[in-house]
């Protein structure tokens, strides 16, 4: 039996931030295999798996999970050079690297020169026993009619997520389709809220009820300028929602492997350089509208083609365990 210590970057103090959520789910799933998941303070582990760490914490081999690096040239939220230095130190002293998307791998290799570590891409995943199209939803509770078409968005609404632009697009497309509702999950600043009877603000959601909220929607739109591979997009897909996502970042890979919607070419292609991350460009609304039309008018066809197995947490856990064993010669 292999004993694995799991933990996330020490700066991730919030329990409900993406890497912590994923590692908690991964911990549960790994216990279905021949391994024991232990605390990072337990000295008896065989190998550690971390979202991001530097070597001073650990005396045994570890694999680092890279959920993204920093590329904001203005240091708006974090100091790009300082934070990347810590991440790169973690890579340098690791036995191997797990990336959450091909985009994240390419971005890291752009900024980390002479990258030569054993590595693998394993996309974010969810437990399909919880996140699936079957079960309760919130339509009755929210007085949503059976023929209403609910556009669902979810996130921690920082500026690069482009909630403002999503609302602009929704008001535009609502003039064409009279049965639309916009359901927004996640806390929204009161100053940014638009008073509209067809826009519903759910606020922060209890994690146990998340699948019920996702099942309330018909279509998921993921429009950040650049995102590494958001858990929210994976969760919505697992709950059976076709999706539209922007063409930059790692989320388009979820649509590609799950056959779950349309990658919308709303932005100029990102060239893997430092950018003004929190000052995103306006997406091309004309292209977005054409892609929306395709799904709205062929909804059942898009919905029926979704593949769920590529985002199964059980399959992801198996890949994690196989990689950990492979690069550390565990039987």
For residue 88, what are the CA distances in angstroms to 59, 98, 100, 268?
18, 13, 16, 28
| CA nearest to 68, candidates 116, 17, 25 | 17
Q: Is 149-308 in the same CATH topology as 2-125+312-327?
A: yes
- Cα 4 to Cα 6: distance, rounded to the nearest angstrom: 6
Mean pLDDT calculated for residue range 168-190:
96
Copy the structure tokens of residue 23: 């590692």
pLDDT in tens, 191-211: 889 999 999 999 999 989 999
Domain extent listing, the chain = 2-125+312-327, 149-308
| Arithmetic mean of pLDDT over the chain | 91
What is the fold, at CATH topology level, of the domain defined by 2-125+312-327?
Rossmann fold (3.40.50)
- Cα 285 to Cα 57: distance, rounded to the nearest angstrom: 48
- Cα 171 to Cα 199: distance, rounded to the nearest angstrom: 9
Mean pLDDT calculated for residue range 252-266:
98
Which pLDDT value is given to residue 14? 54
Class of the CATH-defined domain 149-308: alpha beta
12 pLDDT tier (thresholds 50, 70, 90): very low
Residue 105 or residue 11, greater confidence: 105
Query: Which percentage of the chain shows pLDDT scores above 70?
Result: 92
6 pLDDT tier (thresholds 50, 70, 90): confident
**Residue 223 pLDDT more than 60?**
yes
Which pLDDT value is given to residue 34? 78
Copy the structure tokens of residue 215: 């099942």
Run of H or E including 229: none
16 pLDDT tier (thresholds 50, 70, 90): low
pLDDT in tens, 141-152: 999 999 999 999
């Amino acid at each position: 039996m292999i004993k694995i210590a799991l933990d996330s970057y020490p700066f991730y103090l919030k329990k409900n931030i993406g890497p912590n959520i994923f590692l908690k789910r991964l911990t549960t799933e790994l216990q279905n295999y021949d391994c024991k998941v232990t605390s990072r303070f337990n000295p008896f582990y065989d190998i550690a798996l971390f979202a991001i760490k530097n070597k001073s914490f650990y005396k045994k081999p570890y694999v680092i999970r890279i959920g993204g690096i920093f590329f904001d040239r203005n240091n708006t939220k974090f100091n790009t050079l300082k934070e990347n230095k810590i991440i790169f130190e973690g890579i340098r002293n690791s036995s191997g690297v797990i990336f959450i998307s091909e985009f994240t791998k390419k971005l890291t290799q752009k900024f980390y020169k002479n990258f030569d570590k054993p590595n693998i891409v394993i996309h974010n995943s969810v437990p399909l026993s919880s996140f699936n199209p079957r079960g309760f939803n919130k339509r009755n509770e929210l007085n949503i009619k059976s023929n209403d078409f609910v556009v669902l968005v979810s996130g921690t609404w920082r500026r690069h997520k482009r909630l403002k632009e999503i609302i602009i697009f929704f008001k535009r497309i609502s003039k064409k389709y009279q049965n639309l509702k916009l359901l927004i999950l996640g806390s929204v600043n009161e100053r940014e809220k638009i008073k509209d009877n067809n826009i519903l603000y759910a606020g922060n959601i209890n994690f146990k009820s998340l699948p019920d909220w996702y099942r309330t929607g018909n279509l998921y739109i993921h429009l950040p300028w650049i995102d590494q591979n958001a858990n929210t997009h994976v969760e919505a897909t697992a709950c059976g929602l076709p999706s539209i996502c922007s063409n930059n970042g790692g989320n388009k890979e979820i649509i590609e492997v799950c056959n779950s919607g349309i990658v919308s070419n709303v932005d100029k292609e990102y060239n893997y350089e430092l950018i003004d991350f929190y000052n995103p460009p306006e997406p091309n609304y004309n292209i977005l509208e054409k892609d929306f039309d395709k799904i709205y008018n062929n909804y059942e066809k898009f919905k029926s083609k979704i593949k769920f197995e590529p985002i199964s947490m059980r399959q992801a856990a198996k890949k994690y365990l196989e990689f950990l064993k492979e690069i550390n010669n565990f039987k």
